[in-house]
Every structure is written in structure tokens, then in C-alpha cells.
Amino acid sequence: MWNGADYQQRFDALAASGVDVHGEATFVRAFAPKSVLDAGCGTGRVAIELAAHGIEVVGADLDESMLAHARELAPGITWVRSDLAELDLGRTFDVVVMAGNVPLFTEPGTQDRLVAGVAKHVGSILIAGFSLDRGYSVADYDQHCAQAGLKLAERFATWDRAPFQDGDYAVSVHAS
């Protein structure tokens, strides 16, 4: 479904034009985690930036094209190919992050299983950013988090912490 090289190229072009493409990683780093699971890591752009700051990271994704690019960019990081709904790494991470609309790209109707799968790996908090104009609402997401034992702690409109006011994007922080 994905083309990892094309996907990464878009971000490389943005970075080259001076855009800060590390807003998600900066947001995650504010929680000072020692370990992070990048759930739906794609080409690994968030995980790689976190690793560059000394954080232990694992990336997981279902798409082989995205993962192949991640492996090429950062062979030293552990990249796991798995459906997040089935993921079982047998451990937790201080932070689990889903950046880049991950719940919108999973099979429709399976978001509850996706959230349950990632929630198993939450040691402290789950962070997710996704658009709200594509049929999956924050109310749906909060319900799926609650079913997985996670409570809403904070919600913002952007990765740089603009206040959430029922707009079309949300960055949600749920705690165990």
C-alpha cells in the first residue's frame, strides 16, 4: 500500500525547505522517556529522531515498504513487522507513540483492536495524533482507550501544544 521511499522523500523535502519535521519527537521528548515504542513507525522518522537523542526505541509497522526504508536509514534500531492489533513484544515502554494518523490507516472498524494491541505495551503513557475529519473521532478513540485501561490525561490541537478546541486534528495523551 505504501511507498516508503516516496513517503520519506516528502519529509526530506520539507526539512530541506526549513520546516521543522520533528514536532512529534519534540512532543514525546518532553515526557523524558527512557524507552519509546513508535507504533505504526512507517519509515521510522520519529523513532530515528528519538534515538538520536539517546532514547531506546523500537519501531513496529505492518508495511514492508515503509519498514525497508526504516531499516536502510537506521539499521541499528529494532524494527518489527506486525499488525499492531496482534503486536506482542512481551514488554512495556515508557511512551508508546502513534504519529501520522495511524488509526486512520488501519482496517476500518478495527481501531479498538489496534488500540488494545498498543495499550499492552504502555508503561506510562500513550500519545496519538490524528485528523478528525475522516470518520474516527476522539470520542471513539477515548472509548477504545478506556476499554484498554487508559485514561485521557491531556489533549492538544497540534504537536506544539496549541489548545484543543474541537478542531480537525488532535494530539491525545492517555495514561495507564
Question: What's the min distance (Å) between Cβ of 4 and ligand SAM?
Answer: 8
174 binds ligand SAM (CB under 6 A): no
Total interface residues for ligand SAM by CB under 6 A: 20
CB nearer to ligand SAM: give 104 or 157.
104
Q: In this chain, which of 21, 23, 80, 101 binds ligand SAM, going by CB under 6 A? A: 101
CB nearer to ligand SAM: give 56 or 112.
112
CB nearer to ligand SAM: give 16 or 166.
16
- Going by C-alpha positions, the residue among 2, 171, 175 that lies closest to residue 81 is 2
Q: Which residue type is seen at 62?
A: L
Long-range residue pairs from 76-84, CB within 8 A, at least 24 positions apart, any chain = 76/51, 77/44, 77/47, 77/48, 77/51, 79/41, 79/44, 83/117, 84/39, 84/40, 84/60, 84/114, 84/117, 84/118
> Which grid coordinates are listed for 125?
503513557
Alpha carbons 25 and 14: distance in angstroms, whole number: 16
36 binds ligand SAM (CB under 6 A): no
CB nearer to ligand SAM: give 128 or 165.
128
- Could you list the residues that contact ligand SAM (CB under 6 A)? 2, 40-42, 45-46, 61-63, 66, 83-85, 99-102, 105-106, 114
